[in-house]
């Protein structure tokens, strides 16, 4: 399947801004299942970008605007081709996989995706609440699927109920949130059971007559590292494996590692308007 993604972020400043420095992570990845065909970033006021790949493998663009401005707009247009086949429900967790999963080498290699972060921390009581419903972890594949279903069935997706600074503990108490919150909670539960997992930021194509939710802006889901298999995407917001409709942009430990647009500026408050359009070509 081939998609075109248009993503526009518009900042409106309360007072003219003297200067600003900004970081953009909006360029989709190319990997074994996803191919980036084209990408264009338009910045207004016009600015040159400096590009690099960060420690998590994300494409980063940085730019500096030295002149006074009252508005900043960043528009990216991408065309991506994706071909993924569902298979996680067909995986048989073998003794060989378990031997790798429980090894010190496996644990040490993926330590960054096992450590708790401020975004993903859950109290022991929160963890136990989930365990009481899904059972303890003996098979990481089955456990991850059960946690995904539990979160989908228990938590209410409600746009605007939280913000980008909301952490897992807060949204767990609310039992309400958006894809970012539900993803952080799933990461917290899986990491408590020593399952390497990472945060994925990207886009979701919903299309017509679809029950999928989360396409109004960037979407978020979880990728779990399975021994002998690799990274497998799970979307707890929709209780589905992340397949052809999920367009990957960035991965990291949590939202802080993949924030689409970050910046600092000298001036007053601002308003942000974000629009995302994902079209099937």
Residue 217's pLDDT is 82
Q: Which parts of the chain register pLDDT below 50? A: none
Residue 207's pLDDT is 78
List domains and CATH numbers for the chain. Answer: 2-82+259-280 (2.60.40.2250), 88-256 (3.10.620.30)
Residue 259's pLDDT is 94
Residue 71's pLDDT is 92
pTM score, whole prediction: 0.94
Main-chain dihedrals φ then ψ at residue 183, nearest 5 degrees: -65, -45
Residue 56's pLDDT is 95
Q: How far apart are CA 71 and CA 11, in angstroms?
A: 6
Residue 215's pLDDT is 62
Q: SS3 string of 190-255?
A: HHHCCCCEEEEEEEECCCCCCCCCCCCCCEEEEEEEECCCEEEEEECCCCEECCCCEEEEEEECCH
Q: Is 168 in contact with 184 (CB distance < 8 Å)? A: yes
Residue 92's pLDDT is 87
Residue 160's pLDDT is 85
């Amino acid at each position: 399947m081939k998609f075109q993604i248009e993503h526009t972020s518009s900042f409106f400043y309360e007072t003219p801004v003297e200067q600003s420095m900004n970081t953009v992570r909006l360029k989709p990845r190319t990997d074994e299942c996803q191919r980036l065909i084209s990408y264009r970033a338009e910045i207004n006021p016009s600015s040159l970008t400096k590009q690099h790949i960060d420690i998590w493998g994300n494409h980063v663009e940085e730019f500096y605007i030295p002149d006074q401005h009252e508005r900043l707009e960043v528009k990216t247009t991408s065309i991506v081709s994706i071909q993924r086949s569902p298979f996680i429900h067909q995986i048989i967790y073998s003794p060989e996989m378990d031997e790798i999963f429980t090894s010190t080498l496996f644990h040490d290699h993926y330590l960054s995706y096992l450590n708790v972060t401020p975004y993903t921390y859950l109290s022991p009581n929160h963890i136990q609440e989930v365990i009481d419903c899904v059972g303890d972890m003996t098979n990481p594949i089955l456990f991850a699927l059960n946690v995904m279903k539990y979160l989908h069935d228990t938590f209410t997706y409600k746009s605007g109920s939280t913000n980008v600074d909301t952490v897992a503990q807060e949204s767990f108490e609310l039992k309400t949130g958006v894809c970012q919150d539900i993803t952080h909670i799933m990461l917290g539960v899986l990491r408590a059971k020593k399952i390497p997992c990472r945060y994925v930021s990207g886009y979701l194509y919903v299309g017509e007559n679809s029950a999928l939710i989360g396409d109004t802006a960037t979407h978020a889901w979880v990728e779990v590292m399975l021994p002998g298999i690799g990274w497998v995407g799970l979307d707890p917001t929709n209780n589905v494996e992340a397949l052809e409709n999920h367009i990957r942009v960035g991965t990291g430990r949590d939202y802080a590692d993949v924030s689409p647009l970050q910046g600092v500026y000298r001036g007053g408050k601002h308003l942000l308007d974000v629009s995302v359009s994902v079209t099937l070509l």
